[in-house]
Amino acid sequence: MAGAFNVWWAKMSPYYAKANVEMFVGLGIMSFFYYKLSYGGKKKAVQSKPAH
């Protein structure tokens, strides 16, 4: 069983390693744009007055 897994992993690891890096790059870019859209590039949440 472990031998079959090692053979499968030797074939598939370059694909998964590359897909994993691309996923993290895409996630970073998307979170950056989400931050820019939600805060508008300003620190509105920090500068706003307290609600109460």
pLDDT per position as a tens digit, 6-46: 888 787 777 666 777 778 888 899 999 998 888 765 655 55
Assess if residue 23 is contained within a domain.
Answer: yes
Q: How confident is the model at residue 48 (pLDDT cuts 50, 70, 90)?
A: low
DSSP annotation of 20 reads: H
Assess if residue 47 is contained within a domain.
Answer: no
- Owning domain of residue 10: 2-39
Assess if residue 49 is contained within a domain.
Answer: no
Assess if residue 35 is contained within a domain.
Answer: yes
Tally of domains within the chain: 1
User: What's the one-letter identity of residue 12?
Assistant: M
Assess if residue 25 is contained within a domain.
Answer: yes
Assess if residue 48 is contained within a domain.
Answer: no
Assess if residue 24 is contained within a domain.
Answer: yes
3-state secondary structure of 8: helix
